[in-house]
Amino acid sequence: MAFLTHDISMLRLFETFLENAPQLVLLLYSVLRSNKAEPSQGMGICTAFLCVTWSLLDYHQSLRSFLQDKYEMGWGSSVIYFLWNLFLLCPRILALALFALQWPYGVAVHFPLVWLAMFLWVRLQGTDFMESPGPEQLYRAMVAVILYFSWFNVAPGRTLHRSIIYHSFILVDSTLLTLAWLWGPGSPPEEQHPFLIPALCAALPCYLLGLLLRITYYRWLHPNVRARPRSGGDEVDADGRADGAVEFRSISEPCELRGVSEPDLVNSRLRCLAQSHFPLSVLAEPHLLNGAAAV
């Protein structure tokens, strides 16, 4: 049941970005196309944004619960994690909807190109999630879809440079999509949708605020920061050690209490993901390494 719970969390994340996020772009496009919105549509758009962001937080918390580290995400760090994902996701969705509004068939070209770039980027990082090459390619394809909308870490090591590359690419891409809408054929956008100009003016500060909240989270609110002092450097999801060991929470304790001698169960998928997302730093306290190494 523990394995299924965490697998369902990942499947829910895949469903969110394969179904809910594209539907959110389509819904926002329909509202902008008709130039009017019912209160229920506005509430539905806001709810969809919150649900997509919540799926990221839920997955992150679910994956972290595998670790032996007792310092899980508190209320403050969970709120900041939720907010920075929300502030980064909103401008991206808005840019895609605006581009589709002016160039509806251009999305059919834009998505495959960006998806292919993300797929190749994930492949270069050398993911090792599945047990055979075929399913591994499928997993990389799913991750590429997530990266089309939001950041998702798939490889161990420090994520600082990868984050800078990814967010710079998304920022430039979203800016080009917005400029394509502004300079597209037809009447000026301020005459068709006067309310969108203030929204666009707020989009860039919203994205920058999301980046600032992300830096705040990893600098001061990350559970690993509360677990131990830091000697310097911006540790994001890892410290860059190739041989860093991660200890996982054990689910074999009930068998031991019953006096039943059974081998530890291992969920290789979640172990691989936890090692990619949360390898311990060289500064980890010794007590963090105590416990069973099985998931």
CA 78 to chain centre: 14
Q: Do the domain assignments include residue 290? A: no
**pLDDT of the residue at 281:** 40
Q: Do the domain assignments include residue 217? A: yes
Q: Do the domain assignments include residue 241? A: no
Burial (CB count within 10 angstroms: exposed 0-12, middle 13-18, buried 19+), residue 245:
exposed
State how far the Cα of 69 lies from the Cα of 293, in Å rounded to an integer. Answer: 12
Q: Do the domain assignments include residue 223? A: yes
Q: Do the domain assignments include residue 248? A: no
State how far the Cα of 102 lies from the Cα of 36, in Å rounded to an integer. Answer: 17
Q: Do the domain assignments include residue 166? A: yes
Q: Do the domain assignments include residue 264? A: no
CA dihedral 57, 148, 164, 88 (to 10 degrees): -50
| Global confidence as pTM | 0.77
Q: Do the domain assignments include residue 22? A: yes
- Could you list the pLDDT tens digit for every one of the 295 residues in the chain? 666 777 788 889 999 999 999 999 999 998 888 877 788 888 889 999 999 999 999 888 887 776 555 467 788 889 999 999 999 999 999 999 999 988 889 999 999 999 999 999 999 988 877 888 888 999 999 999 999 999 998 887 778 889 999 999 999 999 999 999 888 776 556 666 667 878 888 899 999 999 999 999 888 887 766 655 444 333 323 233 334 444 445 544 443 333 444 445 556 666 666 666 554 443 343 443 333 333 3
Range of the domain at 8: 2-104+157-227
**Structural domain count of the chain:** 1
**pLDDT of the residue at 289:** 35
